[in-house]
């Protein structure tokens, strides 16, 4: 846990969130500023800064998060129409919260390349 991390605070329940999924590994909740009709963040309970921290020791955390993303997509009814899973890394990657999270975006046609 990181004292001043907003997603650690959400995991602890110190900041409210709209949860859509929770297990021992992770929490999934709706993004406060949705960029699509479905915009869910999948966040590990343990504080990891970003995808850049992946290693042999924690790779199963990342696999678990992606599995949850696919499960939430099914639950949200967007598995058939398609969706996007993205994680931003660092300043130029557009990361604003430095606690690993995958964005699950769907419910509209996505464009490419992203901005």
Catalytic residue among 39, 47, 99, 101: 101
Query: Rounded CA gap, 99 and 96, in Å?
Result: 9
Work out which of 3, 4, 24, 33 binds ligand AMP, going by CB under 6 A: 33
Q: Which is nearer to ligand AMP, 18 or 81 (CB)?
A: 18
Work out which of 31, 53, 75, 76 binds ligand AMP, going by CB under 6 A: 31
Tell me the closest approach of the beta carbon of residue 29 to ligand AMP, in angstroms: 6
Q: Is 101 a catalytic residue?
A: yes
Return the C-alpha torsion angle 54, 59, 61, 63, nearest 10: 110
Q: Write out the E strands in 1-64.
A: 19-22, 26-30, 38-44
Q: Which residues of 35-66 are buried (b: 16+ CB within 10 A; e: fewer)?
A: ebebbbbbbbbebbebbeeeeeeeeebbebbe
Q: Which is nearer to ligand AMP, 7 or 57 (CB)?
A: 7
Query: Does residue number 88 form part of the binding site for ligand AMP (CB under 6 A)?
Result: yes
Q: Write out the E strands in 31-108.
A: 38-44, 83-86, 102-106
Query: Does residue number 95 form part of the binding site for ligand AMP (CB under 6 A)?
Result: yes
Query: Does residue number 55 form part of the binding site for ligand AMP (CB under 6 A)?
Result: no
Question: Which residues contact ligand AMP by CB under 6 A?
Answer: 6, 15, 17, 31-33, 41, 88, 94-97
Residues labelled catalytic: 101
């Amino acid at each position: 846990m990181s004292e001043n991390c907003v997603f650690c605070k959400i995991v602890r329940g110190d900041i409210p969130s709209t949860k859509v999924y929770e297990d021992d590994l992770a929490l999934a909740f709706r993004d406060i500023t949705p960029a699509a009709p479905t915009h869910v963040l999948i966040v590990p309970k343990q504080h990891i800064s970003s995808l850049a921290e992946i290693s042999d020791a924690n790779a199963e955390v990342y696999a678990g998060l992606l599995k949850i993303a696919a499960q939430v997509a099914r639950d949200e009814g967007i598995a058939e129409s398609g969706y996007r899973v993205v994680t931003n890394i660092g300043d130029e990657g557009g990361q604003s919260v430095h606690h690993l999270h995958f964005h699950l975006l769907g419910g509209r046609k996505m464009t490419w390349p992203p901005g």
